[in-house]
Amino acid sequence: MRLFPRALIGGLIGLFLLAGASLLVGATNLWNTQLDTGMVLAISRVPRTLAAILAGAGLALAGVVVQQSVQNRLVDPGLIGTPEAAMLGLLAVTLLAPGAALLVKMSVASVSALAGTAGFFLLARLVPRRDPMLLPLVGLIYGGILGAMALWLAWMSDLVQFMGIWQTGEFSGVLRGRYELLWIIAALAVVLFILADRITLLGLGEEYARALGLNYLQTVLLGLGCVAVTFAVVVVTVGAMPFVGLVVPNIVSRWRGDNLRRNLPWVALLGALFVLGADLLGRVVRWPYEIPAATIFAVLGAGLFLWLLHNRKVRRHG
Amino acid sequence: MIEINNLSVSRDGARILHDVTLNVPPGRLAAIIGPNGAGKSTLLHCMAGLLPPDCGQVLVNSRNIHALSEARRALILSLLTQAQGTIPRLSVQDLVAFGRWPHHRGRPTATDRAITAKALARFDLDQLATRNVETLSGGQRQRAFVAMAYAQSTPWMFLDEPLAALDPKYVRDIMDRLRDMTGDKTGQRSIALVLHDLSVAARYADFCIAMKAGRIIAAGPWRDIVTSDLLSDLYDTPLRVAQLDGVPVVMGL
């Protein structure tokens, strides 16, 4: 296997082109001679483009990990309480220790997101597997409960405004100095690439994974830990963005299968492409005003997902 | 050799196996038989180290299987279980190659690739190597999973109902190959499997473990212990062992 197959290079070139467009498009006209173009690029456009790429890749990778862990392709970590749990952690630390350093807040949010995701994972073991639609619905309810708790806490403490920012993913507020945490996702992606085989094994189910010599619990915790940190970072810096973790892994799995050693780069790349594309679209449809990337993605993603559901291959028997 | 001493196992708070003591000799095709709910599958999973016992122990090749890490256990025994949840979207070749994972843990060597190729050939999967497991028929898919367990190259192989819902052709496909493995001069395998079809068991197995209500009723060489009386008692219904063209068959009366 070549390290960079031709198709992947094509995808990367596509990402570069889109990133180039992202640098040029926005409310500010770069050709306005009265402005310092370099400054606009360095402070706003470059950070914004990088943020969309990192968040998109991270959310898509998180989707694969959760889907393999619970053996259900219709589950999206963005729709099973992970972001809500991160918000709960953020609210708690904001209330208890308002002056805490950003890294401390991040850590609390990550731990809280991990607890919330692990809670869903335990729930998933109790849900019968016959109907694959059941688990995502359970996830929606579970996420709804966590979200309601967070909203109540925010309302009681006059922090509802924060909740609004965390709930809707968009990139217009991304500036130099306010997105760098997202680079953690790049480090997590490396961890997941190393774990790729193990996460594929998780998808075979606990019994096969353990029979093939995998420390199941340790692997699940590592994987869900990566998911939790990704969501904590994304929620804090740009806000939650559902459907990325659902749509992208499903497209890659249908197109290229589940061997993650080969396909994780594709998941990351397509996640980045889609989110950057959604952000770019949000910038141009009502120029000079902006529509949040999460809103654009929810509309397009829901459509894509319905198409995927409708085109589900009928499993052959006998 | 598998030595099971005073093994008791519970699932969801209910005691399934009661004080099981059993020896299974190596190099055999050992069939675990018994009525529904006898604890056959529980015994197999406990032997494979996936279920912790309440008390007692399982020694496989004189090593306490529950004291070993998953990584070490996967070098001693392989398990074929009834796949639950989603069927993986892996090519047959990739699936069988995962049987080598306990040996290379992410860095396959030339040996691993050679053994994968051998497993594909042995199970007649060469033509299907690039096919997605999801698109195979039930019989082909089962053959691919057995090939994965075979590629794991463990001295012991445990199979939980490998023939469930398979056509006679596929039953023969799989059982012939399993029997060949226990007879192999080089790399001989010892196999224990849960079987429901008694005629298949009578034809292929050379060791019998008869279970009922969480206890071992009888265990020994198939020819010596399996009689019409034993089976009738075991299943609470009249059964008869007969010969048809020199092949043993079990019939309900």
Domain-embedded: residue A3 = no
Range of the domain at A204: 35-310
Domain-embedded: residue A108 = yes
Question: How many domains in chain A?
Answer: 1
B70/A203 touch (CB, cutoff 8 Å), yes or no: no
To the nearest whole percent, how much of chain A has pLDDT over 70? 96
pLDDT of residue B239: 94
Query: What is the CATH number for A99?
Result: 1.10.3470.10
Cβ-contact A51, A237 below 8 angstroms: yes
Residue in A with minimal Cα distance to B96: A212
**By a Cβ cutoff of 8 Å, what residues of chain B touch chain A?**
45, 48-50, 69-75, 77-79, 81, 83-91, 94, 98-99, 101-102, 105-106, 132, 134-138, 152, 165, 167
Whether A267 contacts chain B with CB within 8 A: no
How close A309 comes to chain B (CA, Å)? 15
pLDDT of residue A3: 56
B89/A257 touch (CB, cutoff 8 Å), yes or no: yes
pLDDT of residue A30: 75
**What tens digit of pLDDT does each residue of A15-41 get?**
999 999 999 888 777 777 677 888 888
How close A276 comes to chain B (CA, Å)? 28
DSSP, res A266: H
Helix (H, G, I), strand (E, B) or coil at A155: helix
* B167 φ/ψ angles, rounded to the nearest 5 degrees: -70, 160
Residue among B79, B90, B132 whose CB faces A211 most closely? B79
Domain-embedded: residue A25 = no
Q: What distance in Å separates the CA atoms of residue A78 and residue B128, rounded to the nearest whole number?
A: 37
B70/A214 touch (CB, cutoff 8 Å), yes or no: yes
**What tens digit of pLDDT does each residue of B184-235 get?**
777 789 999 999 999 999 999 999 999 999 999 999 999 888 999 999 999 9
Give contacts of B48 with chain A, Cβ < 8 Å. Answer: 211
Provide ipTM, 2 decimals.
Answer: 0.92
Identify the structural domains of chain B with CATH numbers, from first to last.
Answer: 2-76+156-252 (3.40.50.300), 86-153 (no CATH)
Reported in sequence order, the residue ranges of B39-189 that DSSP labels E, i.e. its strands, are 55-60, 63-64, 77-80, 156-160
Domain-embedded: residue A266 = yes
Q: What is the DSSP string of A170-223?
A: -STT--TTSSGGGHHHHHHHHHHHHHHHHHHHHTT-HHHHHHTT--HHHHHHHH
Whether A112 contacts chain B with CB within 8 A: no
B45/A129 touch (CB, cutoff 8 Å), yes or no: no
**What tens digit of pLDDT does each residue of A124-146 get?**
999 988 888 899 999 999 999 99
pLDDT of residue A316: 39
Give contacts of B69 with chain A, Cβ < 8 Å. Answer: 215
Give contacts of B72 with chain A, Cβ < 8 Å. Answer: 213
Whether A118 contacts chain B with CB within 8 A: no
B88/A204 touch (CB, cutoff 8 Å), yes or no: yes
Q: What distance in Å separates the CA atoms of residue A263 and residue A94, rounded to the nearest whole number?
A: 39
Give contacts of B65 with chain A, Cβ < 8 Å. Answer: none
Whether A263 contacts chain B with CB within 8 A: no
* A105 φ/ψ angles, rounded to the nearest 5 degrees: -60, -45
Helix (H, G, I), strand (E, B) or coil at A36: coil
Domain-embedded: residue A75 = yes
pLDDT of residue A315: 44
Whether A133 contacts chain B with CB within 8 A: no
pLDDT over 90 at A244, yes or no? yes
Confidence label for A314 from pLDDT (cuts 50, 70 and 90) = very low
- In this prediction, the residues of chain B whose per-residue pLDDT falls under 70 are 83-86
pLDDT over 50 at A318, yes or no? no
pLDDT over 60 at A116, yes or no? yes
pLDDT of residue A313: 56
Give contacts of B136 with chain A, Cβ < 8 Å. Answer: 316
pLDDT of residue B94: 96
pLDDT of residue B214: 95
Q: What distance in Å separates the CA atoms of residue A47 and residue A9, rounded to the nearest whole number?
A: 23
Q: Which residue has the higher pLDDT, B40 or A7?
A: B40
Give the angle A23-A26-A31 at the CA atoms, nearest 5°.
Answer: 75
**What tens digit of pLDDT does each residue of A68-88 get?**
999 999 999 999 999 999 999
Domain-embedded: residue A244 = yes
Regarding beta strands B190-194 and B55-60, do their DSSP bridges make them parallel or antiparallel, or are they unpaired? Answer: unpaired
Domain-embedded: residue A120 = yes
B86/A203 touch (CB, cutoff 8 Å), yes or no: yes
Q: Which residues contact B16 (CB under 8 A, 6 or more apart)?
A: B9, B10, B39, B42, B214
Whether A258 contacts chain B with CB within 8 A: yes
